[in-house]
Amino acid sequence: MIRFAFLLVFPAILSYSCNNNQPTIEQEAESKSDSSAVINDATSKINFQTSNFVEIDSSGILLFPLSGGESKRENGEFYYKEMPNNNYWNILFHNTKSNTTHLLSEKKILIQSFHPENGRFANQETNQFNQYIYYEAISHDYNRDKKLSNSDPVYLFISDKLGGEFRQISPSNGSVINWKFVHSSKKIIMTVKKDSDKNFVFDEGDETAAYEYNPGNESGAVEIFSTELKNKLKSLYNRDWKIK
């Protein structure tokens, strides 16, 4: 099992003497002790995994997807929350030419898959699709169970080839089922399952809608089929297929 969490607790108590506003020897020792406790406690159990990496288009830019190794307490419990297998909690971008490194995002996110080298369209001609890296990821605790998991909606994200301008392009509160870049129109078409019955579960009882997104347009994804058309489809389906 891969487990992770963010532990950002840095207890530091800085006290100053009344005379010169400088910490006393006892206070300095206490501060060092507190810092050592943080370093030697849970944070020292973090075991980053960067065993795989991908180069982007022979550019010298490398992607290192980040997972976490197992970290157990003495009682057998884990320090970090469970992460679904083959998912990543972030991606490091490393430029081998400038020797610089940065994270894809500092927000909490669970990345299911990413497509840096044309992904499923590797045999297609170079075009606007190749300007972006595509990510299928979970970033919203939609069902409010205090964790990111496969029960939460999957969103479609893109970034530039340097890992910058990372942004969500699929509609919020809807889980992406499928997507494709259409070369002739240079649009991304996606099918998205909505939580139609508002029960915080994405299942067969929910509607799946089609959306399009133009990467060159700052506006969000737009639903393709109008309400009028969908109402007509419902009427025809009810007329022809309802059990009498």
pLDDT of 145 > 50? The answer is yes
pLDDT of 111 > 90? The answer is yes
Look at the block and give the residue holding tokens 């992904």.
119
pLDDT of 80 > 90? The answer is no
The arithmetic mean of pLDDT across residues 112-118, rounded, is 78
In the chain, beta strands by DSSP E: 2-4, 48-49, 54-55, 61-68, 81-83, 90-95, 100-103, 110-115, 132-138, 155-160, 167-168, 174-182, 187-194, 208-213, 222-223
- Minimum mean pLDDT among 8-12, 73-77, 222-226: which range? 8-12
CATH number, position 222 = 2.40.128
pLDDT of 17 > 90? The answer is no
Give the pLDDT of residue 118.
45
Q: Could you list the residue range(s) of the whole structural domain that residue 97 is in?
A: 48-241
Residue at 24 is within a domain: no
**pTM as predicted:** 0.74
Residue at 118 is within a domain: yes
* Confidence tier at 202 by pLDDT (50, 70, 90): very high
Residue at 2 is within a domain: no
Residue at 121 is within a domain: yes
